[in-house]
């Protein structure tokens, strides 16, 4: 993997949140930033919660930074995230709906918005 994650801002979300078990929890955070992929790995790139400053990702939105940069107008570039394996995948979709993964060593800039439990949050036991 070759990527550079830059956090642009972090905002602590006021009010009550909940942990994965449904118990009330404070310390929810929204993090916004970018991921500069300099050499894509076929099979997905790791993106763990700690990479974006969270201990748990509740929700994440990823998008290609320059969607108009496709090689031709016949392809739609996209980024997909699998929370089960903490990886994102870069894909191309053709006009007829065929989806293929980017080739190895491809480059891309991805923008993200992630919300979850702050990695800086104090856990009380």
Per-residue pLDDT band for 67 (boundaries 50, 70, 90) equals: low
Pairing of strands 2-12, 24-25: unpaired
**125 is a domain residue:** no
Instruction: Kindly give, in sequence order, each residue whose CB lies less than 8 Å from that of residue 85, ignoring residues fewer than 6 positions away.
Output: 44
The CATH number covering residue 76 comes to 2.60.40
Whole domain around residue 68: which residue ranges? 2-118
The residue-averaged pLDDT of 59-87 equals: 82
* Global pTM value: 0.82
- The predicted pLDDT at position 85 comes to 95
**106 is a domain residue:** yes
**123 is a domain residue:** no
**124 is a domain residue:** no
Domain count, the chain: 1
């Amino acid at each position: 993997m070759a990527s550079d994650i830059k956090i642009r801002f972090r905002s602590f979300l006021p009010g009550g949140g909940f942990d994965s078990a449904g118990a009330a929890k404070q310390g929810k955070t929204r993090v916004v930033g970018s991921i500069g992929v300099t050499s894509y790995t076929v099979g997905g790139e790791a993106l763990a919660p700690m990479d974006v400053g969270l201990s748990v990702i509740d929700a994440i939105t990823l998008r290609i930074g320059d969607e108009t940069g496709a090689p031709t107008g016949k392809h739609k570039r996209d980024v997909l995230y699998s929370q089960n394996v903490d990886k994102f995948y870069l894909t191309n979709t053709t006009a007829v709906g065929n989806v293929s993964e980017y080739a190895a060593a491809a480059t891309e800039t991805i923008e993200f918005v992630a919300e979850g439990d702050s990695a800086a949050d104090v856990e009380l036991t």
